[in-house]
């Protein structure tokens, strides 16, 4: 009974380590390929770096933003939370406080929920990249930002790989030892 429990524990630990390694590798690779946050099933995962939308969206959270097509960019309404590219090429997620039609197209006035005043520059519809879906994972944005750093890559890819190799080596050593003990006991019985 004890060996069966150990065998199943060994299998579960091995499976968890392999799944963890593959998941972390996929996360880090997708972040690197996306040049920032990954995209999953048409949803971009964005790290929140400021407190402008608190308390609804906390600093350090990871949020899901639905990617929008060109035709959808002018269909947002007051109260929608959008992610857009600012004049400084930063991504910002703020709430629409006013929608206006101008000669150059639809323009949105936006404001962070935690800010005292609306943003100084209106947002052109063409600068909108996504619509916030309400899905938030608190503190996961810190992890995503760290995973993009060289130290994060080492921590999330190399160290789990080393642990997996070490665990596999230990398992092989233990199996060979059991096999050797079994052969020695068979030889003693044969004498």
Indicate which residues carry an active-site annotation: 50
- For residue 17 the two structure tokens come to 């380590």
CA distances from 48 to 12, 22, 87, 110, 144 (A): 35, 25, 18, 17, 10
Rounded to whole angstroms, the Cα distance separating 133 from 96 reads 14
Other Cβ atoms within 10 Å of 83 Cβ, number: 21
CB 75 within 8 A of CB 125: no
Task: Tell me the H-state helices in 35-158.
Answer: 140-148, 150-153
Rounded to whole angstroms, the Cα distance separating 167 from 121 reads 55
Rounded to whole angstroms, the Cα distance separating 18 from 34 reads 24
Residue 176's φ and ψ, nearest 5 degrees, are -65, -40
């Amino acid at each position: 009974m004890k060996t069966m429990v150990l065998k199943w524990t060994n299998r579960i630990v091995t499976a968890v380590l392999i799944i963890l390694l593959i998941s972390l590798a996929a996360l880090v690779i997708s972040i690197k390929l996306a040049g920032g946050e990954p995209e999953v099933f048409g949803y971009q995962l964005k790290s929140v770096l400021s407190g402008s939308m608190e308390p609804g969206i906390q600093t350090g959270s990871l949020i899901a933003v639905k990617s929008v097509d060109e035709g959808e960019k002018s269909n947002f309404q007051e109260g929608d939370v959008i992610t857009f590219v600012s004049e400084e090429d930063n991504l910002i997620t703020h709430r629409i406080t006013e929608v206006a039609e101008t000669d150059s197209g639809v323009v949105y006035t936006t404001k962070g929920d935690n800010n005292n005043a609306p943003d100084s520059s209106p947002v052109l519809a063409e600068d909108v990249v996504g619509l916030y879906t309400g899905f938030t994972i608190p503190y996961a944005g810190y992890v995503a930002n760290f995973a993009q750093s060289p130290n994060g890559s080492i921590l999330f890819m190399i160290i789990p790989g080393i642990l997996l190799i070490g665990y596999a080596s230990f398992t092989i050593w233990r199996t060979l030892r059991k096999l050797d003990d079994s052969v020695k006991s068979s030889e003693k019985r044969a004498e």
